[in-house]
Amino acid sequence: MAVESAARSESIRDVITPREPQRRWEYDHLVKLVALDLGAAAATAVAAQFCGARREVVLLLPLLWPLALLAVRAYGQRQLTGGLEEYRRITRAALVLGAIAVLGSGLALGRDELVYDAVLALAGAAALTLALRRVLQWRLAAAWSAGRNLRRVLVLGHPGGVAELAGSLARQSPHGLRLVGACLTAAPAPDRRPDPQLPVLGGRENVVSVVRRTGCEMVIVLPDAALDQMALRRLGWDLAAEGVQLLISPQLADVAAARLSVRSIGGLPLLHLRAPVGSALARLPKEILDRLIAAVGLLLLTPLLLVVAAAVRSTSPGPALFQQRRAGLGGEQFTMLKFRTMVQNAEELRDELAELNVNSDGPLFKLPGDPRTTGVGRFLRRYSLDELPQLINVLAGHMSLVGPRPPLPEETLDYDEVTRRRLLVKPGLTGLWQVSGRSDLPWKEAVRLDLSYVDNWSHALDARILLRTTGAVARGKGAY
C-alpha cells in the first residue's frame, strides 16, 4: 500500500510539474501589483507630507491602502486582464478607507481637517494606483502579443462552436490565452471543421487525460446538448482535483461582460442579459461631450485645416472639401464633409474600375492603390487627416466622435433587419471597425463590429476606442 501511495504521489508530481512554469509568471505579476500599490501609497504619503497633511494620514496610508485593496479582492485572477472591474475595486477600496476616515474623525472629537486630508490622499493614491496598474497591464499585453505568459486552454464543445470561438479569440486584442487543442462532442462536418492550427485531441471523455498531457490551466466548455448538468458537475469536480479552471460559455456572441450578471431564482443560477443602453437621457452626456470636443478641436486645428485645404487645392483642380450624402441616425440623410483625396471626376471613373473592387462580400468599393487618389490624398488617407472636417458634422449633431461608419443612402436599401441596427446610433468619426483593421476588414466583420458597438455602448467603450484610434492612425494600416 505504501508503494502504491508513493507511486501515486510521484504520478501527481509528474502531472503538476509541466503546469508550474506556466503559473510562475502569474505569481510574479501578483508581486509586481503589490509592489506598485505600495509604491503608489508611499508616493502619495510623501506628497501629502509636503502639502502639510496630518501625520495620521501620512503614516497610515502606506499600511492601510494595500490592506483595503486586499479586502476588496483587487489581487485575484481578474486583475490579470484589468478592465472595468479593476477600476471598480480600486474605487471601492478608496470609499471604504474614506468611510473609516470619517468614523475616525468623529471619534477624534470632530477633527474635520483629518477627513479633508484623508480624502485628498485617497484620491491621489487611487489615481496613481490606476495609472501604475495600467502601465503594468500594457506590459503584460505586450508580452501576450509576443507569445509570452500565455495560459494554455483546452476547448470542449461541438465542432461548429469550437470553430467560432477560435475565430472570435483570433480577432480580439491580446487576451493571454493560447488554445492548445479541442475535445469535440461530435464528429465535425466537412464544412465546419475547427481551425487546422487547433488540433483535435479527443472527445468529451478524454478531457482530463488531455489536460494532464498538455498541462492546460483552463478548460472552456461550449453549450452542447451532449453536456447535461451532471456531466458538467462531474467535469468540474475532476478539473478542480487537477487545479484547473473551468469556464462555461453562455453562447452569447459580442456581448460585453458588463451586460451579464448571474441571478439566483429558486436556487437556480440564471444569466441575466441587460438590454442595450438606448435612451436619450443616458446618451445626453455623450452628446454634450461630442460637441464640446468638436468645438475645441476645430478651434485648435484651424491652422492645420487651412494648410491641408491649401495643399489639396494646389496639387489638383477642384474644391478642397468633398461633400457626400450619407445616412445618419435612423437613416436620416446629411451631408458629410471630407477633404478631397481623389481627382475631381472620381465618381465618373468608378464604373471603369468596378472589376478591380476587392470587396466582394458587401456594398463597399475598396481598391488598394486606387488610381483616382491624388498624391496628397494618399497621405491624408494614410493618417486619416481627410476625416478632420467631419468635426463640423459632429458639432452640427449629424455625427458623433465614436460610432459606426456612416453609410451611403443606397447601401441602406439592401440592409436586412439585423444590419439596420447600425442606424440606431449616430455614425462616428471613428469606431470599432476603424481601430480593428479599417479597410482591410471584410464587410461582414465590419458589420459585426458596428453591431457590437451598438449593443454594448458605454462611455468607457467610447474612451477605449478613442485611445485605440491614435495607434490605428499612427500605423496607417488598412487606410486606402
What pLDDT, on a 0 to 100 scale, did the predictor assign at position 265? 81
At 353, the pLDDT band (50, 70, 90 cuts) reads low
Give the residue, 178 or 257, on which the prediction is more confident.
Answer: 178
Contact yes or no for 381/373 (Cβ under 8 A): yes
Tens digit of pLDDT for each residue in 122-136?
889 999 999 999 888
How far is the C-alpha of 424 from the C-alpha of 415, rounded, in Å?
A: 13
Structural domain includes residue 267: no
Q: How many CB atoms lie within 10 A of CB 356?
A: 13
CA angle 211, 212, 216 (to 5 degrees): 45
Give the domain-ending residue among 128, 145, 162.
145
Q: Which three cell numbers stand for residue 103?
A: 468614523
Give the residue, 479 or 242, on which the prediction is more confident.
Answer: 242
What pLDDT, on a 0 to 100 scale, did the predictor assign at position 110? 54
- What domain range includes position 313? 280-475
Choose from 6-10, 31-35, 58-62, 389-393 the range with maximum mean pLDDT: 389-393
Tens digit of pLDDT for each residue in 278-292?
777 888 899 999 999
At 445, the pLDDT band (50, 70, 90 cuts) reads confident
My answer on whether 309 and 406 are in the same domain is yes
What pLDDT, on a 0 to 100 scale, did the predictor assign at position 38? 93
Percent of the chain with pLDDT over 70: 81
Structural domain includes residue 271: no
Q: pLDDT at residue 427 above 90? A: yes
Structural domain includes residue 274: no
Q: pLDDT at residue 3 above 70? A: no
What pLDDT, on a 0 to 100 scale, did the predictor assign at position 258? 75
Q: pLDDT at residue 156 above 60? A: yes
Give mean pLDDT, residues 248-257.
Answer: 77
How far is the C-alpha of 254 from the C-alpha of 377, rounded, in Å?
A: 35
My answer on whether 319 and 450 are in the same domain is yes
Domain count across the chain: 3
My answer on whether 157 and 111 are in the same domain is no
My answer on whether 208 and 352 are in the same domain is no
- Distances in Å between the Cα of 182 and the Cα atoms of 152, 203, 221, 242 are 12, 8, 10, 18
Contact yes or no for 90/66 (Cβ under 8 A): no
Contact yes or no for 184/206 (Cβ under 8 A): no
My answer on whether 286 and 432 are in the same domain is yes
